[in-house]
């Protein structure tokens, strides 16, 4: 290692240099040690400490979806030292909390069980192996799923195995330069948190345990972990496929198919275009589809196999412009009835009919309508999603809970939750199966709805029109401002609070709800009485929301502006990317007898309002 003598570094801040040298000494991975040593040498040669400071700006913290960060050496990146210390911290947190259901007759408790999975990103398999070795070395039972694996399979495994925790190494839809670490916890079977991702205060407690861990290089590594076979994946495929069953083959979990007139042949007749976006979803989705009776989808060939460089897309996120271009072209070429895309770890799902890509809120409304027809029960969404779900829930006389952003909150809304979704393409159509968003079962459900509509000579868009006639048009859009300096995000949010706008564009702001200073109570009121089933329910204020759910009081870095005319803007920092995000919604009443031309005009009106509002919001954020 080419390190300069200490005396030659007198002009460098001593604390930073000492931290870097100590980290290098404690890092067990030689390439990372060399990487940091080169940065120290460069800082000495040039006097430029910016890059080194960035590496030691702070440890990665659990955000909306676990730890995420760039693949680089140092505490502010995803690397072997960080992963091993994280696994050791989780083990240290778990061991004194081992629950009693597995206790033997003499009262002895088995060590906690942690199941680990990983996607196909750069470093994922190595980080998974780091995790099971550290867990085993700490005295925890560790089980490794076959790699690569979709995130929903890992989440399923936590519940299936009765595990105390689960780890999924993935950065989901982030760029190829990133990786991440999701942590799930087990709980008693009737606990809504069983198999869900961690939330406060557990995340802070585990972070404190990580901070207390000794040097990564000195952590003991064990070989007592086990490598699981294909049985968990096979069980997931069978259970996921069983969420969609036509009449005569058993009870399904989606209504129009289980109770309607759809035959097995109608499922096989559906033509689906699909892409996993270079991720790990293709084999699992195809297995689930064919087991459920659907034909195997047509898959974008150049995106079909896992590739951690994601060579055909700028960002491997179905929400990003251009990400769906190839699957939309495939859909046109094969005359697909529906086009479907998963993100790289297959926990999110997008859908399109022809060239018309459904928004996350439209997709969520279609799924919610299908689920509630079959098994009415509590539903949940997030504060940034459309108010249409609450309107639909009120019509079914069931509770609709609103949570902070992230499926870890949605899944805790109610023990009997039957459906949850967030506008960022995340859906849970079978919460008892996977206590997280699941892009595989969501894809199966939307395909089932499409098959039912195809039998009637219709499409998903016709089904969506029916819902608009019944519940009004809730049009949504999103504005994202990407930043290079994370301090810019805080500055914008602070400015919005210090000088909130009285108008956004030409629209008056009726009220402002700052979840950082006036947090929302954790338990919402009972749902309002269901409105009449014909005509559009009242859309005053743009929402029929019935309350929030969670533990304690929901406080977050979120500002909500309610606008005149039934509009709403929600602004928050992204929990997974360096962005400020604004979620826009406008609502327009619709006559229950509106024809196709009227609906087109209504959508045009709403689209114009959204575009104007979006321009104003973008100017507002950029000007702060």
**What is the CATH topology of the domain spanning 63-98+109-229?**
Alpha-D-Glucose-1,6-Bisphosphate; Chain A, domain 3 (3.40.120)
Q: Which of 104, 124, 131, 172 is catalytic?
A: 172
Q: What is the mean pLDDT of residues 519-540?
A: 37
pLDDT of residue 453: 96
**Fold that domain 230-375+418-471 belongs to in CATH:** Alpha-D-Glucose-1,6-Bisphosphate; Chain A, domain 3 (3.40.120)
The residue assigned the tokens 């990564």 is: 216
The pLDDT assigned to 245 comes to 66
| Residue 9 pLDDT level (bands cut at 50, 70, 90) | very low
pLDDT of residue 488: 86
Query: pLDDT exceeding 90 applies to what percent of the chain?
Result: 75
CATH 3.40.120.10 placement within the chain? 63-98+109-229, 230-375+418-471
Which pLDDT does position 192 carry in this prediction? 93
pLDDT on residue 48: 80
| Annotated catalytic residue 124 | no
Query: Where do you find CATH 3.30.310.50 in the chain?
Result: 472-519+555-624
Question: pLDDT, tens digit, for every residue of 599-614?
Answer: 999 999 999 999 999 9
Given pLDDT bands bounded at 50, 70 and 90, which one contains residue 421? very high
Write down how long the chain is: 624
What's the CATH class of domain 472-519+555-624? Answer: alpha beta
pLDDT confidence bin for 64, thresholds 50/70/90: confident
Tokens of 453: 């509509």
DSSP for 531-595, written as a single string: PPSSSPPP-GGG-----B-SSS-B--S-EEEEETTTEEEEEEE-SSSSEEEEEEEEEE---TT--
Judged against a pLDDT cut of 50, whether residue 449 lies above it is answered with yes
- Distance (Å) of CA 339 to CA 154, 319, 351, 440, 459: 25, 14, 5, 14, 12
Residue 484 has pLDDT above 60, yes or no: yes
At residue 9, what are phi and psi to the nearest 5 degrees? Answer: -100, 20
pLDDT level of residue 251 (50, 70, 90 thresholds)? very low
As a whole number, the mean pLDDT across the chain is 88
100 CB-contact burial (10 Å; exposed 0-12 / middle 13-18 / buried 19+): exposed
**Confidence category of residue 28, pLDDT binned at 50, 70, 90:** very high
Helix, coil or strand: residue 114: strand
Percent of the chain with pLDDT over 70: 87
Average pLDDT (313-321) is 93
CA angle, 459 then 603 then 589, to 5°: 105
Average of per-residue pLDDT across 367-380: 95
């Amino acid at each position: 290692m080419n390190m300069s003598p200490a005396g030659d570094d007198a002009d460098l801040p001593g604390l930073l240099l000492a931290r870097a040298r100590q980290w290098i000494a404690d890092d067990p991975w030689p390439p990372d040690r060399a990487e940091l040593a080169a940065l120290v040498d460069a800082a000495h040669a040039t006097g430029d400490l910016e890059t080194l400071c960035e590496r030691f700006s702070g440890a990665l913290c659990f955000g909306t979806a676990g730890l995420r960060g760039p693949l680089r050496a140092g505490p502010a990146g995803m690397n072997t030292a960080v992963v091993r210390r994280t696994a050791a911290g989780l083990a240290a947190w778990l061991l004194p909390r081992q629950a009693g259901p597995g206790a033997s007759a003499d009262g002895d408790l088995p060590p906690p069980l942690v199941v680990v999975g990983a996607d196909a990103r750069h470093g994922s398999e190595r980080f998974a192996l780091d995790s099971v070795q550290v867990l085993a070395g700490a005295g925890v039972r560790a089980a490794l799923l076959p790699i690569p694996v979709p995130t929903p399979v890992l989440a399923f495994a936590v519940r299936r195995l009765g595990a105390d925790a689960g780890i999924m190494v993935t950065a989901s839809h982030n760029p190829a330069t990133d990786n991440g670490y999701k942590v799930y916890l087990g709980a008693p079977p009737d606990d809504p948190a069983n198999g869900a991702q961690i939330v406060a205060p557990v995340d802070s407690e585990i972070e404190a345990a990580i901070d207390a861990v000794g040097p990564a290089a000195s952590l003991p590594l064990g070989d007592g972990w086990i490598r699981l076979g294909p049985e968990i994946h096979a069980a997931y495929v069978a259970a996921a496929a069983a969420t969609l069953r036509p009449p005569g083959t058993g009870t399904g979990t989606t209504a129009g198919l289980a109770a309607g007139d759809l035959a097995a042949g109608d499922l096989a007749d559906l033509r689906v275009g699909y892409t996993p976006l270079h991720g790990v979803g293709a084999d699992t989705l195809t297995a689930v589809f064919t087991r459920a009776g659907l034909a195997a989808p047509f898959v974008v060939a150049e995106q079909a196999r896992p590739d951690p460089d994601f060579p055909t897309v700028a960002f491997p996120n179905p929400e990003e412009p251009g990400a769906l271009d190839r699957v939309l072209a495939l859909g046109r070429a094969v005359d697909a009835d529906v086009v479907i895309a998963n993100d790289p770890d297959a926990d999110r799902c997008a859908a399109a009919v022809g060239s018309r890509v459904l928004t996350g809120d439209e997709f969520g409304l279609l799924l919610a309508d299908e689920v509630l027809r079959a098994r009415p029960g509590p539903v949940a969404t997030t504060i940034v999603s459309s108010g249409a779900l609450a309107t639909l829930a009120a019509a079914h006389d069931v509770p609709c809970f609103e949570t902070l952003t992230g499926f870890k909150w949605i899944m805790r809304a109610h023990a009997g939750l039957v459906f949850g979704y967030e506008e960022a393409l995340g859906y849970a159509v079978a919460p008892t199966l996977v206590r997280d968003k699941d892009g595989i079962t969501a894809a199966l459900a939307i395909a089932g709805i499409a098959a039912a509509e195809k039998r009637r000579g219709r499409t998903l868009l016709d089904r969506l029109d029916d819902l608009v006639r019944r519940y009004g048009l809730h049009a949504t859009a999103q504005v994202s401002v990407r930043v290079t300096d994370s301090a810019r995000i805080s500055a914008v949010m602070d400015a919005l609070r210090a000088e909130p706008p009285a108008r956004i564009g030409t629209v008056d702001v009726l009220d402002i709800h700052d979840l950082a200073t006036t947090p929302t109570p954790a338990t919402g009121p009972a749902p309002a009485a269901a409105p009449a089933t014909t005509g559009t329910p009242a859309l005053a204020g743009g929402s029929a929301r019935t309350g929030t759910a969670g533990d304690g009081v929901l406080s977050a870095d979120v500002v909500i502006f309610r606008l005149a005319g039934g509009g709403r803007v929600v602004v928050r920092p992204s929990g997974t990317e360096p962005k400020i995000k604004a979620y826009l919604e406008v609502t327009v009443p619709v006559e229950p007898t509106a024809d196709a031309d009227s609906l087109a005009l209504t959508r045009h009106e709403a689209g114009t309002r959204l575009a104007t509002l979006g321009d104003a919001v973008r100017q507002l954020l950029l000007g702060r």
